[in-house]
Amino acid sequence: MSIRFTSGTTGFITFPNEGEVAISRFNFAYPFAPSSLKGIWSFTSMGSLGLLSDAVNLTVTGPSTSTGNGIVASADGLFGCEHQVSGSLAGTVVCVKLNAQGQLQRGYWFTYSVNEGEGRQLTASGYLTNQIVSIRRLTTPSGVGTGIVFKNTEQPAPDLTALEQQLSQLAAQGVLE
């Protein structure tokens, strides 16, 4: 038997004397619905534009676009995502990050399964860049963490005396020009 992965969620399996068969990670946790995008997400892109990162808490449900099934946005309305249900991007998620003036800063196009996904960053005009994007859901729609949680062992509070002294000294000196 051999397995060949083409991404973090897709690949091919070949059994002896049989042809190659496509496989993909099964999404058993969330429906393909706007509410499934709620929660805290981390977006990290890497490529010729450097290393870029966004973390966002999607909490607000909004209207659908002509190709999607409903926008889910951050509380400030500057970051939003939507499952695409028709058109050339059907079956994927598209997200946009806006500045305070409502102009596109960057976009993301990706597929995900359970709590992880991958895709590409989009330019302001909607073209794919060579920036590879890794997506990770950090909390579920109900706010429960999705990763491995280490047991919190009681640690003594650190001694902050030195920090307190330095902060007091700098504050007393005021801002130097």
145: which strand partners?
139
Distance separating alpha carbons of residues 38 and 22, to the nearest angstrom? 30
Structural domain boundaries in the chain: 29-137
pTM: 0.68
User: What tokens appear for 70 in the block?
Assistant: 């409903």
Query: pLDDT truncated to tens, each residue of the chain (177 aa)?
Result: 999 988 766 789 999 999 999 887 665 556 668 888 999 999 999 998 899 999 999 999 999 999 999 999 999 999 999 999 998 888 889 999 999 998 888 899 998 878 889 999 987 776 778 899 999 999 888 888 887 554 445 566 667 677 777 776 666 555 444
135, burial (CB in 10 Å: exposed 0-12, middle 13-18, buried 19+): buried
153: which strand partners?
none
Please tell us whether the domain made up of 29-137 is placed in CATH 2.40.128: yes
Q: CA neighbours within 13 Å on the CB side: how many for 124?
A: 6
